[in-house]
Amino acid sequence: MMMTNQLENLVESIKSKVRGLKKSKKKPYVKMDKSSSVRVEIRSRKARKLIDKTLKVADQPGKRSIS
């Protein structure tokens, strides 16, 4: 009997939470802009890739173009 009561209470609380979510048409999360440190990290990764590519080409004297 007590277990049934707890289950009913749980189901009711879940239903009310779902109803509350449906009523509030808010997005579940807020999209954040990239922070300046993230932008610096992305730029440094791109720069590192370019440097690695340039060094690789420089190590092959027969080829002249970087593509």
Number of domains, the chain? 1
- Flag whether 16 is in a domain: yes
Contacts of 15 (CB under 8 A, 6+ apart): none
- Flag whether 64 is in a domain: no
Whole-model pTM? 0.42
Distances (CA, A) of 23 to 12, 18, 20, 49: 16, 9, 5, 48
Query: What is the three-class DSSP state of 22?
Result: helix
**pLDDT tens column, 9-64:** 889 988 888 887 776 666 667 777 878 888 899 999 999 999 999 999 888 877 66
- Flag whether 67 is in a domain: no
- Flag whether 17 is in a domain: yes
- Flag whether 6 is in a domain: yes
- Flag whether 50 is in a domain: yes
Structural domain containing residue 9: 2-58
- Flag whether 39 is in a domain: yes
